[in-house]
A = this chain, B = another copy of it.
Amino acid sequence: MDFETVSSQIPSDKLINVGIVQHFFSDDIDSNRARNLSAIENLASEGAQLVVLSELHDSLYFCQTENVDNFQLACELPGDFTDFYGEAAAKNNVVIVTSTFERRAPGLYHNTAVVFEADGSVAGIFRKMHIPDDPGFYEKFYFAPGDIGFEPIVTSVGKLGVLVCWDQWYPEAARLMTLKGANILIYPTAIGWNPDDEQTEKERQRDAWITIQRAHAIANGIPVISVNRCGFEEDPSGQTSGIDFWGSSFVAGPQGEFLFIAPDNSPTESVVEVDMKRSEEVRQWWPFLRDRRIDSYTQLTRRFID
């Protein structure tokens, strides 16, 4: 056991300025990248030390259909993706959480978050572990499930528990990141409404999405950052009414309290101050990690217990 590592797991006196980039995107990758770069520059100039982009921020959400042509969008790592965002990190001296369609080998792709250190180097990657598949979100066609597991990424602003979108519905993912010393949970995401749904159903869905991520903050006593895209994207196949991405990017503190929430329907670039010291205070008041019944959790590895 490395005691230096352990003692650094909760930075005890840190305020972190987090930059949130909630945007809509087009089918023009260069244009998307230019807007993302502009957002990174803006937020860094406002004091952001960490900038978080949303899921698959260089393209439209191409998983609305199953189309082999979309594999052309995939990026090799390292490659032009890491060149571009590494330079953005270094020039602006910020840690950046990015998201890409990773081409790992011919015919083998992942939905991968890439974290850049403020010097432009790659601090680490996370490959989306839980892969959704439902009408309009055909991710199982495109992405192999991640095989790295739940490993926080060590950066100059803390150990980042980076997870991606569908992972956000799984308390197991948040817990494992926490047990491995993550100081904060970060979810790049792309989630939206079926425009045909009733307003009450839309509200239930967005509220559920916010609530479960706030609960990860509460259960684990650490802050949560969730960054979503916004805007409408049509279904290229014409089979559905497309997706109305619901924005609502937010930051919650370690009691699940809102520190920031973006509108549901417009681009937002905001710097949010997160007090990392509060995690240890909250964990002392509510020592959930102390009382876990680890002797009784073995069946969590079962699909169902018939």
Contacts and interface: CB of A to CB of B under 8 A. Distances in A.
A48 interface: no
Interface in A261-306: 285-289, 291-306
A205 B256 CA distance: 9
A180 interface: yes
Contacts of A173: 293
Given A257-B204, A296-B149, A286 B179 contact: no
Contacts of A131: 291
Nearest to A5: B306
Interface in A170-206: 170-173, 175-176, 179-181, 204-205
Given A294-B301, A303-B292, A134 B285 contact: yes
Contacts of A215: 171, 211-212, 214-216
A152 B287 CA distance: 26
A62 interface: no
A214 B292 CA distance: 20
Given A215-B215, A218-B212, A286-B169, A179 B302 contact: yes
B306 A289 contact: no
B291 A171 contact: no
Chain A facing B: main interface SS: helix
Contacts of A25: none
Contact of A301 (B130, B166, B297): B297
A150 B302 CA distance: 14
A172 B174 CA distance: 12
A304 B176 CA distance: 9
A207 interface: yes
A304 B214 CA distance: 22
A190 to B, nearest CB: 16
A290 to B, nearest CB: 9
Given A179-B302, A255-B208, A256-B208, A129 B289 contact: no
Contact of A180 (B150, B292, B305): B305
7 contacts: A132-B291, A169-B218, A172-B175, A175-B300, A179-B304, A294-B302, A300-B301
